[in-house]
Amino acid sequence: MDLEWFHWLTYDSDSDGEDDDEQSDASADDQSTIENPTNSPSGSRVDDEDLEMIVVRDANEGEEVYNTYGTMGNAALLHRYGFTELDNQYDIVNIDLAMVTKWCTSIFSSRHARARVSLWRNLGYSGCTSQDAEYFEISYDGEPQLELLILLYIITLKPDVYDKLICVARDLVGDEEHDTIHNVVKFVNGTSSTPNSKLNGHDELHDVMKKFLHSESICSALLSLADMRESLYGSNTLEDDEEKLQACCIVTERKLYHSLVLRVSERRILCRLRKYASSRSKTKKRKHP
């Protein structure tokens, strides 16, 4: 059953004045979706320790109400609500654009990094943004965001292919994002020494892009980025964190428990990213001995 019951929970503050309380009560009266059909008993009042729930559908008194937090990973749950869920299918790992450029400058020059990122942007691509930071998401299954694969491809392009792409970059930008991706795939396929014979429609385009963007150099870059991201957790191994999590008590060590759940989940995703990159690289080698 798909539950669309989202609730916003707010607490009355000790510093709120009586005027604020009256305005809040009046606002609540105007929203039919908040009120139960049965009025509160005479003389009852809400004190500072009561929980106020705002629902998005009418609910009769005594009905069971389901609360869902949507498609949130543990990082968002911990930040907003102070808890985590084991084996959360919505977990992701973020890899900052700054980390990608740092990796790039460890192999190429700073000028190379700036030029390749600039071309990537000129093609209409960008990462996710939050609080002035730009990043890419690695999914729960260890699959990197498509925009990251495209950036890594542009970074690792041979100079002659890069020069060709610069000349046609503006012509490849379409009205919709999928149009641009389609045009880039066509161009990349055309400059390849072994072009694909068929590139039809948008239904298979996403899969075609991912298959096309799994060269050995891109897979090697993903492995390096996984190691760089992993280094942020310190010297403890994933196995160390898993042992600590098993020994941690959620009741007496609540903060440590949820922190470990998040760490373990993210590090497992990085393991899947490594497997993803390694398997794709091995597949390439088997197909092209």
What is the Cα–Cα distance from 208 to 245, expressed in whole angstroms?
Answer: 40
Tell me, rounded to whole angstroms, the distance of Cα 49 from its chain centroid.
36
**Residue 96 exposed, middle or buried by CB count within 10 Å (0-12, 13-18, 19+):** middle
Helix (H, G, I), strand (E, B) or coil at 133: strand
Identify the residue whose tokens are 């495209």. 150
pTM comes to 0.71
Identify the residue whose tokens are 């009256």. 22
Q: If pLDDT is split at 50, 70 and 90, which confidence band does 68 have?
A: low
Rounded to the nearest 5 degrees, what angle is found at the Cα of 203, between the Cα atoms of 73 and 174?
A: 90
Q: Which of 268, 284, 273, 267 lies closest to 145 in space, CA to CA?
A: 273
What is the Cα–Cα distance from 93 to 141, expressed in whole angstroms?
Answer: 10
What is the Cα–Cα distance from 101 to 98, expressed in whole angstroms?
Answer: 5
> How far is the CA of 139 from the CAs of 40, 92, 110, 246, in angstroms?
47, 5, 29, 24
What is the Cα–Cα distance from 51 to 12, expressed in whole angstroms?
Answer: 8
Both tokens of 202, joined, read 């948008």
What is the Cα–Cα distance from 253 to 248, expressed in whole angstroms?
Answer: 7
**Please, where are the H alpha helices in 63-176?**
74-81, 97-107, 110-122, 146-155, 159-172
pLDDT tens-digit readout, 214-266: 888 999 999 999 999 999 999 999 999 999 999 999 999 999 999 999 999 99
pLDDT tens-digit readout, 153-198: 899 988 888 888 898 888 888 877 667 777 877 776 676 555 554 5
| 131 φ/ψ sector (left φ>0, alpha ψ -120 to 50, else beta) | left
pLDDT tens-digit readout, 16-30: 444 444 444 444 444
pLDDT at 18: 44
**Please, where are the H alpha helices in 198-253?**
205-212, 216-230, 238-247
